[in-house]
Amino acid sequence: MKIVGYIEFDESLRVPDECLGYQFPIMVDSFAGNLFTPIKGVVGAPPVSSGDVDLEEPITDLKLDLEIEWGRFIGNNTSQLHAFKIEFNINESDGGKFKECANKLYEGLAKWITRFKANLSAFGQSVNTPTSFKNRKDFEKGMYDIMYWNGSRLWHPYDLISTGNLIVRFEKITLREFEQVLRLTSENRQPILELRLLDEARLALIKQDFRKSVLDSATAFELCLTNQLKRKLKVDQPLLDEILKSNNSIGKKRKLLSVINEALPTKYNYEQDIEVLRNRAIHIGTEPTEDEARNALKISREIVKDLCIDRFE
C-alpha cells in the first residue's frame, strides 16, 4: 500500500534550480520513503527562464491533484519552496495491520518534522511546517481527510524584515546542505545544544522577549566555552571536573582559555555584552533592549560557529 502526502510550510525555503524535481530518500522510524521537490513547469512545456512562475506538483505514480501552493520560481536560478511531496510504501501482507502502521507513520512523521525544522535552523534556515497526509484508499475514494501537524503560525513572515539577516539567512540553501538536512533528520540526529539554544534566542528576539533571548544566547556561549575547555585541557577526568568547578563563570572560563592560548577574538566586549547583560537579567530582572539582545545573539552565534567541531549530535 502506497501512502502519499505533502509537507507544507508557511515560510518559503529558498533553493537553487538544482534542488527542483529532485527525489530524496528519507526514513521515518522504520518506514522508508521518498521526499520530492516541486518541478518548474510541466512535461512538454517550454522551459521557464523568467521569474515569478508557480512551481508544479512533483510527478510520481500517485497524483495528489489538490490546491497546494508548491512554491514559485523567482528568477536568477532561485525558487521559493512552500511544500514537498512525500511517499511511503507499507507492506499489505496483513491488511488488518495497515491502520496500525499508518498511525505509527503519522506519529513518526510529526517527530521527523520537528527534527527537520531544527536541522534547517542549523543552516540558518527557518520554516514553520503544518503537514497534510492521506492514504491511497482515501485518495481513490476522493476523500480528503487531511491530518495537520504543528499547524499554528508562530509569526508572520514579514515580521522578519525589520530584524535583518541576523534572524534569517536570505541566501539559498544548497543542494548538498539540503541533502544533509534530510539525511540527519532521517538518522534521528539534531543540532547540538548550543545551536538549539541559539535558535531559541532567535525566536525569542522575534517575539520581542529580549530577556529570554539574552539568557539563551549567554547559555549557548558559556556551554561552548565549557566544551572547548573539555577538548583542550589534556588532563584526567577528576582533575578536569575540579578545574571546571573552580572556573564556573563565563569570565573565568574566558580567562582560562587565554591561559592555555585559546583566547577568544578580541573584537567583542564579552564582559559587558554577554556576562553583565545576563547577570543583570537574572539577578536584578533587568529587561535588555532589542539592540542588546540582537548583539548578544550575534556574538554568541559567531563564537559557537568558530569553536564547535560538529554541529549535530
Do 54 and 96 fall into the same domain? yes
Domain count of the fold of the chain = 2
- Amino acid (1-letter code) at residue 199: D
Q: Which residues pair with 132 in a beta bridge?
A: 6
pTM of the model: 0.70
With residues binned 3-state (H G I as helix, E B as strand, rest as coil), the percentages for the chain, rounded to 5, are 45, 20, 35
Express each pLDDT in 44-87 by its tens digit: 444 555 556 889 988 888 787 778 889 988 888 888 888 888 88
- 313 part of a folded domain: no
197-201 average pLDDT score: 91
What confidence score (pLDDT) does residue 27 get? 93
* Mean pLDDT over the full length of the chain: 78
Do 37 and 156 fall into the same domain? yes
How far apart, in whole angstroms, are the C-alpha atoms of residue 118 and residue 115? Answer: 5
Do 144 and 281 fall into the same domain? no
Nearest to 18 by CA among 179, 129, 168: 179
Classify residue 286 as exposed, middle or buried by CB count within 10 Å of its CB (0-12, 13-18, 19+): middle
Do 12 and 158 fall into the same domain? yes
Do 198 and 158 fall into the same domain? no
Do 228 and 139 fall into the same domain? no
Express each pLDDT in 256-313 by its tens digit: 999 999 989 888 999 999 999 999 999 998 999 999 999 999 999 999 988 988 888 8
Collapsed DSSP state (helix, strand, coil) of residue 189:
coil
How far apart, in whole angstroms, are the C-alpha atoms of residue 250 and residue 271? Answer: 8
Residue that finishes a domain, picked among 156, 186, 216: 186
How far apart, in whole angstroms, are the C-alpha atoms of residue 97 and residue 123? Answer: 39
Do 232 and 85 fall into the same domain? no
Q: Where in the sequence is the domain holding 32, given as residue range(s)?
A: 2-186
Number of H helices, E strands in the chain: 10, 7
Do 53 and 152 fall into the same domain? yes
Express each pLDDT in 138-172 by its tens digit: 333 332 223 222 332 222 222 222 222 223 333 57
Do 112 and 231 fall into the same domain? no
Do 230 and 178 fall into the same domain? no
How far apart, in whole angstroms, are the C-alpha atoms of residue 274 and residue 22? Answer: 43
How far apart, in whole angstroms, are the C-alpha atoms of residue 122 and residue 311? Answer: 7
Kindly indicate the confidence band of residue 34, based on its pLDDT and cuts at 50, 70 and 90: very high
Do 167 and 249 fall into the same domain? no
How far apart, in whole angstroms, are the C-alpha atoms of residue 71 and residue 69? Answer: 6
Do 179 and 252 fall into the same domain? no
- 312 part of a folded domain: no
Q: What is the CATH number of the domain that holds 234?
A: 1.20.120
